[in-house]
Structure 1
Amino acid sequence: MIDHQMTLLQIKSELLYLWTEGITVQYYEQWFEVLQPKLFRHFGIEQADFFIFSNNKFMQLTGRTFTSVRNDAIPHSPFELDETESSTAFLTPFHEKGFAYADDYLLFRNDKGEVVGLLIVGSTGHWKAFRGTSFLQELEEIVSNVIQQIKKMVFLVKEEKSFRCLFRVTELFNSTMERDVILDGIIEVVKESFPRFDIELLLSHDQNKRQHTYKLFDYMNERPSAIDAYVSGKVTMEQLPETVTKLINAPIKGRQGIYGVLQIHAPVDFEYSLSEKNFIRMVANTAGNALENASLYEQSHRVIEDLQLVNETSRKLNSHMQFDEMLSFLKQQFIKAFKPEEIAFCFYDESGNDAISPLSTEVFHTISGQTYIAFASTYLKNGKEALFDARFSNAKNDTSVYESLIAIPIMNQEKMRGFILLLHADPYYFSFDSFKLMQALISHSSLALANSMLRDQLQELVDKDHLTKLYTRNYLDEMIERSIANEESGVFLLLDVDDFKQVNDAYGHSTGDEVLRQISKSILAEVEGEGIAARWGGEEIAVYLPSSTLDEGVLFSERLIQQIPMATEPRVTISAGISCWTSEMPMTFQDIFQTADKALYSAKESGKNQLIIYQPTILKL
């Protein structure tokens, strides 16, 4: 009896020494590692294992597996834990799990009588002798108290670690407004606490600049538990027997909405403690508030930038720019703000036909590009306010190069004057915010564009002859004066319709006017990109070719003399006089006109339907 009491006193003193030495015990396993050799020495026990009872399961303490995989967990209902049950019946599940050596056990309970742990042993003579004494109950009480203290310490250590992680990540979240830094911070802090688990973020909005992989939340295809967490804003759990996985879903929740779901994949037999669940919930909530603040910060900056963009555009467009300058400026603004791959400016003429501006990107001058123009034009002409399509191939039922489209009409006095079209190959490339900003830009730009178009139309009435659409003589005079001042050479050609009076007398003045239009159309087609054609007066037409040589002017004139008889009905011919100036042989505008006029007079006098070159001695060709 004295020996058993001494054994108990020695165990109690060693446990007391354990506490007074201030050994830091962070895991249950560490405590068992300290207790096990004492059992071996005092009772001669060679085999023993300790189990923690949690969530109706006995979980073996081996290494540090308690916080990860628990394949050896042995289910046991607390209602079945009866002290009167035979050792063999109680230990049978343990024998089946590989603990065949066990022939005795001790159950440890807390002050409320709840089971907190279990010790199974391979009995020895000393152990059996001690078990038959009254000291066994005291040993159970001592060890139970130790277990409860250990549980408190382990809980506090885990809580401290969790709160340190939470404090660190909160400090990070409060020091940044970068969404990607916040998202990376969530992943890193959760991985630190659950290093062996797979972690995913299911986000309601896509992120750029990403270090980790995130998934867009797909409401139609996500697991029911993830959808429930996203909708309800509460933490949910789900077991996936097919993958031996247990999911915990924590909504990333701010004050104004839910921005995604933090999803952790654990082994199916893993049991989350209450503190672990709270830690996951707090991380997700802290991240949700941080993401919300970052989003509001980004939105405020974006609103300011958008207002600055609209203001800058409006101010610039209202500074009396030329129409082409306006389009060029708008193109730069749209490319900077929306980063499209293609952009088109399309305007309607008086007949309602669309004309694509040369400032549009090259694709719209091809057959494939015309498909998008036609689709947008038809859509807008049907009375739609705007076109915003993120999956163009679905609308066309085919494979399209460009999936994302935005088309905004240019309106003036409730009439559509044209539209601007943006394209990008990626689906869902343009955000709805981009669409609304583009609408605002076009709305503020429409009046300036319409006014510029009107100014150009008025200027065209001043600068061009109404009948022939050729420039007026005054406009040509200004262009020639400018050319003489800034260029090295130029060719002036003066044309006259042969026997034009006979056309008027024989067919009437309306036919004569039509002949002039036919001649002008032929000249405009030939002179485009090379020079300027103007109605000089009556049936006389002047053409000026800047930076051209005399030989080039002669070839140009000869083409006109050959083409005009074939382009007119009734058929007419022309006579032409030509003069040339160079920097080596400068001439005034008056000299250029007079010499070309003399050459034309000579052409008329010497047989018509021919070109005469003015030189000091007039040459006939």
Structure 2
Amino acid sequence: MNKSMPSGRTEDYRADASAFGDTPASMKAAVLPAASLDAPAAAEIMLESFEQWLSENGDYWLEKIQAALYNAEGRLIACTQATLESEGDRSRIAAIVAATGRRQEGITCTAEPLRSRSGDELLGVLVWSATEEWVELPAKQQSAFQPVAFHLRSILEARFDHIRMREALYKQHAAETEATRREAMLEIGKRLHDQNDVSAVIRELLAYIESYTPYADFNLYLSQDFVNGDARIKPLLMRNDPDDLYSRAFLEGVPLKDQLKSGCVRLAIPMSGKQAVYGVLGVSFSSRHWDESEFKAFTLIASTAGSAFENAKLYEQSNVLITELQMINELTKRLNQSLRLSEIFEFTMNELLHIFKADHCCVLQLNREKDVFQYVASNLPYLMKDSVPLDYGYAGIVHRTKEPVITSDYWNTKLVASKFMDETGSRSIIAAPIMDGASIVGVIIVTHTSPNFFSYDNYKLLQVLTTHIGLAISNASLHAEVRRMVITDNLTGLHARHYLNERIQSKQRKDPCGSLVVVDIDHFKQVNDTYGHLVGDQILIGVSDVIRSCIRESDIAARWGGEELAVYLPQIRSEQAFRIAERIRTRVEQGTHPSVTVSCGISEWTFEDEKISVESLFYKADMALYEAKNSGRNRIIVAS
């Protein structure tokens, strides 16, 4: 006789119970105590319990009965032999007994409902049929079988109690884990949102993930440039590849999961804020460590980090914007304090070196007469007298496009040839045009010897600064032009008399000596009367050009009045002044048409003079000129 046999069929005694009336409600409600188990697992437990029951009760009862175990749903789990006689009858008996909860006496086939101690759970039904040996037993011995049946109930209940306990412990552990996770989430959320620095947000995020899942591999792929030094922070490279999980998560903005053939599980969680997706958190688990709850947890972590990252980014940007506005305001204020172009150029160069922490900076001004860019400010003094063609180098690009330019590594790109970049050994460059309305008036170039030194924010800032620098240069240029018009004679292009007076006064305060030459065109009235005023004006212009060609750049020539011109020669004594005046007289006589002559009067001053003044100097020169006129003209007289 086989002691047990797993059932290969599904006998449902409740199906046959219709012959005896409706199944009672208590029967319909009967379920396994370990309801969370699937059917195969529950059947396995009942089968093991039945085998244990058979082994512990020996062969005494098995010689007298044939037993079968049904679950609470009426399905055969095991029996003591392969085929039970009158199975239909036994099933009907089992249905009656299970429904009423009563044992049936005096029949050769009966069933024992196996309920829990509390009586509210049906564990199973033990159906047994009597053999000839059983029938021969006294009733007292037959009744002794009931405790044997209860023993099966105890085994079943003990096993299901173990399942209950294990499930309770699992639920308790899961609840504790979830509570710990929630507490950790709240803590990391608070710590992330407490940070006002993007680097700190990322540092907190990586530290938390490392402590939370030490068995997982993770990387953070950022869509923006970020220099940190942590190998786990990588740039997000966009690939047109449907298998690229990180690119898909970034573009779609949704968390993605992928399981490789090796069993490894990959997560790609977008780190999103309200305005944008800033990166993707990539996490990899081995199949041994993967739990489905991790997906939701990491989604929440990435979402919290994305919000904190965005807040920190906005805070940093607002601080940068405030700093830039303050910088622009201060720069504009200081630029407007000076109306001298040379001072503005020099100040601009020094400020840009400081603002961008650059190695080199130069300011080039457009010279429209020569069609070149002239170096007007640079921290390389030898460039100050140099110039470059309008189409050369980076200045040429800016001049052509009227747009700023940035190059991260000049040595590798070689976009254009640049003497400035080559001589300074620079690799990073930003350059921007200085505009006056729609016209370009100059170029600013800022460089550094390291590659990738300047950021896009630096590029935009220089563009903003050059706008204000351009306004300051335009104001200074306009002021210089107005001043030039005020201090310049419109006809001759020489300085006006009041400017000459101011400069002589200034020189007399600083210099040890100086000379004044007063030049008068002889018989100028006759020229006007003979040739007309237009020719007279041309004669004045021609004589003025001769004077300019005969003096130094530091000398000051002016129209004294009418046909009288004057030249002040700083730190020149009368002997040398005479030679200069003679050169002027000779060239005028030889180079004018119609030919005219000039008379000159010379005076000088030294620091040893008792009285030093502009009036005294002019008076003596005027008296010397008067003497030259009275002596026959076309001559030079030095005041004694």
| TM category, shorter | 0.5 to 0.7
Q: Provide the alpha-carbon RMSD of the alignment.
A: 5.4
CA–CA distance in structure 1, aligned partners of residues 540 and 440 of structure 2: 31
| 2:393–2:417 CA contact under 8 A, matched in 1 | no
Aligned-partner SS, 2:267? strand
Q: Indicate whether 1:469 and 2:488 are aligned.
A: no
- Whole-Å separation in 1 of the counterparts to 2:244 and 2:585: 79
How far is the alpha carbon of 1:458 from its aligned partner? 2.3
* Counterpart in the other structure of 1:570: 591
For 2:396, which of 362, 374, 382 is the aligned residue?
Answer: 374
Q: Does 1:387 align with 2:404?
A: yes
Residues in 1 aligned to 2:556 and 2:336: alpha-carbon distance in whole angstroms? 30
Q: 2:252 aligns with which of 217, 232, 244?
A: 232
Q: TM-score, normalised by structure 2?
A: 0.59
1:184 Cα deviation from its structure 2 partner: 1.0
Shift of 1:358: 2.3
Q: 1:151 to 1:433 in 2, by over 3 A?
A: farther
SS in 1 for 2:37: coil
Give the match for residue 512 of structure 2.
489
Superposition pairs of residues 110-509 of structure 1, within 5 angstroms: 111-112=37-38, 147-149=166-168, 151-195=170-214, 197-207=216-226, 214-220=233-239, 224-237=244-257, 247-266=266-285, 269=287, 271-308=289-326, 321-322=339-340, 341-344=360-363, 346-347=365-366, 349=368, 353=371, 356=374, 358-359=376-377, 362=380, 366=386, 371-380=393-402, 386-390=403-407, 397-398=415-416, 401=421, 403-408=428-433, 410-412=435-437, 415-416=438-439, 418-425=441-448, 426-427=451-452, 429-431=454-456, 435=460, 449-484=473-508, 486-487=509-510, 489-494=512-517, 496=519, 509=536
SS at 2:591 equivalent: coil
Residue 59 of structure 2: aligned partner: none
1:519 matches 2:557: no
* Identical-pair percentage: 20
TM-superposed CA distance for 1:481, in Å, is 1.9
Of 604, 617, 620, the residue aligned with 1:592 is 617
The residue identity in structure 1 corresponding to 2:477 is M
Q: CA deviation at 1:182?
A: 0.6
Pairs aligned (count): 482
Q: C-alpha separation between the residues in 2 aligned to 1:150 and 1:175?
A: 37
Whether the aligned pair in 2 keeps the contact of 1:500 and 1:512 (CA below 8 Å) is no
Deviations 1:155-206 (A, max 9, x none): 4454444334333322222222111111111111111123355543222222
Task: Name the amino acid aligned to 1:231.
Answer: L
Structure 1-normalised TM-score? 0.60
Return closer, same or farther for 1:565/1:549 CA change in 2, 3 Å cut-off: closer
Query: Does the 8 Å CA contact 2:281/2:302 hold for their aligned counterparts?
Result: yes
Q: Is the 8 A contact 1:578 1:600 kept in 2?
A: no
Q: Secondary structure at the match of 2:275?
A: coil
Note closer, same or farther for the CA distance 1:365–1:319 as it changes in structure 2 (3 Å cut): closer
Q: Deviations over 1:95-116 (max 9, x none)?
A: xxxxxxxxxxxxx996235879
Larger radius of gyration: 2
Q: CA deviation at 1:427?
A: 4.8
State whether residues 470 and 520 of structure 1, in contact with CA within 8 Å, keep that contact through their aligned partners in structure 2: no
8 Å contact kept, 2:581–2:600: no
Q: Is the 8 A contact 1:549 1:580 kept in 2?
A: no
Name stretches of at least 5 consecutive residues in structure 1 with no aligned partner. Answer: 1-81, 85-107, 119-127, 381-385
Following superposition, the deviation at residue 328 of structure 1 comes to 5.8
Q: Deviations over 1:312-331 (max 9, x none)?
A: 66667777945555556666
- Distance in 2 (CA, whole Å) between partners of 1:157 and 1:348 is 79
Tell me what 1:62 maps to.
none
1:416, CA displacement in angstroms? 1.8
Rounded to whole Å, the distance in 1 between the matches of 2:569 and 2:388 is 38
CA distance in 2, matches of 1:520, 1:392: 52
Cα deviations by residue, 1:437-481 (Å, 9 ceiling, x for unpaired)? 666666667666545433322221120233443322210101222
* Residue pair 2:517, 2:567 contacting (<8 A) in 1 also: yes
For 1:358, what is the secondary structure of its paired residue?
strand
- Which is worse superposed, 187-196 or 513-522? 513-522
Distance in 2 of aligned mates of 1:200 and 1:584: 86
